[in-house]
Structure 1
Amino acid sequence: MAPDRLLRYLQIKVHHLIQDHDWDSIHVVGGYDREAVISAHEKTGKLFNFERPTADVQGRDLIVKAFPGADYVHHYALIIATYLSMTGKPADTVTYELPDPTLSRDAVGKLDLELDGDLVIVGWGLAHLVPPDGVWNHGHGYAWQHTEIHGRRVVYLGFLHSIWGDVAGRVVTRLAELGAREVVYVGKVGALNPDIEPNTRLATGNTSLVGGGFVTWPDFFSDFATAQAGVHTGVHVTSPSILLENRDWLTEHAEHAFVDPEIGPMGVAARDAGIEFGYLHVISNNLARHYPADLSNERHSDVVRRRTVLIRQIQDIIANRLAAQPI
């Protein structure tokens, strides 16, 4: 991403107290605390994934509280340090502390749904996927509703906060504990193939490079999604932060297809839990070639329009997959 676009991406994410004030230290920790100072840069007009890390002022020091996932705490600390460096401020004021796994597990454990072999669709774009007359039921940091598609009970699940990286894997584990039989993740993914223009195609697959090794999971879509027009498939790469995806990283992973933080951990969790998992994502940006659309201008009207068309295609593919699947 070009420097000006990277800075714009960071400005959208960084807490206003960091952009507006100087601090002796900034310490990022795991903690879901909506009683702390909420960022003025949280997105408005969204049902899900609008909450950003909050902050506690302690004199000249700032404690930043991110939802307790190891990948998210690390990623947000990188966001802050990179922003400070790009704006001429000392980045060495930033430190972070990875949350204890028990804290992460307990935070995700607040998810509580009554499931009985259901398909759970989780992620982004849910407002376009649910029935027009559907009603959202709210829990602790999440909301859900259910419907029937071709005789199958389907639960739509969205989170107000980010389920970045390992947190997404914990969500799949929790859903399996609650009785889900299949989980589909709808989201956005970066392309590593320079020929794919953002917001024109969908991505799917059943293999991810996670921690240096390949992981394959039982795929909800099987070969069904890849047979559809405009759906690209290939090996996915799990990366905890876009700020680690530099030129050397790209050279190392150029033969693979996609990158994002969640798909790998979710696939691992589904495999370990003995349930099916599938992803069907909008290809939202391209790491290998510059295109007008990237992660810094996602709110542009043309980007929104193109993605709406792709979400409708996702809706159709899921429905047709369920129609072809024995009950």
Structure 2
Amino acid sequence: MSLAPDQMLAGSTSAVLPAAPIDVDGHTMSPGRLLRYLQIKVHHLVQEQPWDSIRVIGGYDRRAEISRYEKGGKLFNWERPTAEAHGRDLLVKAFPGTDYVHHYGLIIATYLGMTGRPADNVTYQLPDPALRRAAVEQLNLGLDGDLVIVGWALEHLAPADAVWTRGPGYAWHRATMHGRRVVYLGFRHSIWGDVAGRVVHRLAELGASDVVYVGKVGALAPQIEPNTMLATGNASFVDGELVTWNDFFGDFAVAQPGVHTGLHVTSPSILLENRDWLARHAEHAFVDPEIGPMGAAARNAGIGFGYLHVISNNLARHYPADLSNERHGDVVRRRALLVGRIRDILTNRLAARVI
């Protein structure tokens, strides 16, 4: 979904906002782990040299300088914001989503603050609605009542002999499972927060009848150890409003061993999930940026939606595994087992033909 420079900046009239570092001591991640999380996210040009100003904008531009910290060897979700130097000023180009641009501004400012460097020169500019729509409208698939499985670990969920057809920023594979047309859809870039909701809206426009999102979610109940259980549900709090949807899984997924359910809450940025935030949401079960916007978009479009996620971290209690060490061998091994469980549940759900 690469946009030309004139498309990226056309009509960019939104205000430039300061991105202030968060209060690290109040965050649900310990300072050491939070810094490791930031180090694998921040563009190398930010980490390696000072700048008079750093501005994060919405603009998917792979012609700008690519971060050396992008995770290689993956089909999907490996592209990160790029950067473009203008003298002593740095322009950071994130995929055009309101939540993602804000999130990445907080990432940079907090990293600079934690490493003893000035952060008062970091700003972000939210992308205009026309740009946000144009980015997602480049998704173009011929769908006719298909179930679309979107998200994480798709190369392990799709058939082993899958042949991926590539589009601008995404790829898909079509298959038939127990008589149902299924499309596996992955993106090279992150579909963070509100972008994910627009993806579901676009898929409904293209003819999808159901969307299933596979990803990773944080637990808010202290007893759930990361990378040992799956999460599902049919409701999320989004900006204080309870959103429910027609759940693709119904009661099927939660009836399976090792699947936890509960009320989800949508958060636009991990950086905002401090201990005060946790106290306000202690009655909820899970948190992530995408599930709520996707469920709301599916409800509004009149299609089914379901999520089945690995519980990847715990905000209420510190465990050895969290978002700072996702590449550790034991974490990868445990998640591979859970992805196998997701594949089995999806297969059995379609075999049950309770569609």
**Matched ranges for 1:78-97 at <5 A:** 78-97=106-125
2:169 to 141, 145, 154: 141
What's 2:218 paired with? 190
Structure 1: state its 5+ residue gaps: none
What's 2:299 paired with? 271
What's 2:193 paired with? 165
What's 1:100 paired with? 128
What's 2:11 paired with? none
CA distance 1:220–1:228, shift in 2 (3 Å):
same
Residue 324 of structure 1 deviates from its aligned partner by: 1.3
- Equivalent-residue separation in structure 2 for 1:134 and 1:165 (angstroms): 28
2:258 to 223, 230, 238: 230
Match for 2:187: what amino acid? F
- Equivalent-residue separation in structure 1 for 2:142 and 2:240 (angstroms): 36
What's 1:120 paired with? 148
Q: CA RMSD, aligned part only?
A: 0.7
| Equivalent residues, number | 327
Residue 102 of structure 1 deviates from its aligned partner by: 1.1
What's 2:317 paired with? 289
Match for 1:239: what amino acid? S
What's 1:208 paired with? 236
- Equivalent-residue separation in structure 2 for 1:2 and 1:211 (angstroms): 26
Deviations 1:52-103 (A, max 9, x none): 0001100000000000000000000000000000000111110000000110
What's 1:111 paired with? 139
1:34 to 62, 67, 76: 62
1:308 aligns with 2:308: no
2:87 to 28, 52, 59: 59
Structure 2: state its 5+ residue gaps: 1-28
SS across alignment from 2:313: strand
- Equivalent-residue separation in structure 2 for 1:208 and 1:139 (angstroms): 31
- Equivalent-residue separation in structure 2 for 1:276 and 1:215 (angstroms): 14
1:262 aligns with 2:286: no
1:298 to 304, 326, 342: 326
Residue 325 of structure 1 deviates from its aligned partner by: 1.9
Match for 2:215: what amino acid? G
- Equivalent-residue separation in structure 2 for 1:237 and 1:81 (angstroms): 25
Deviations 1:99-134 (A, max 9, x none): 001101110000010100000000001111011111
- Equivalent-residue separation in structure 1 for 2:175 and 2:351 (angstroms): 14
What's 1:44 paired with? 72
Residue 146 of structure 1 deviates from its aligned partner by: 1.1
Match for 2:89: what amino acid? D
Give the TM-score normalised by the residue count of structure 1.
0.99
Runs of 4+ with deviation above 4 angstroms? none
Residue 2 of structure 1 deviates from its aligned partner by: 1.1
Match for 2:85: what amino acid? V
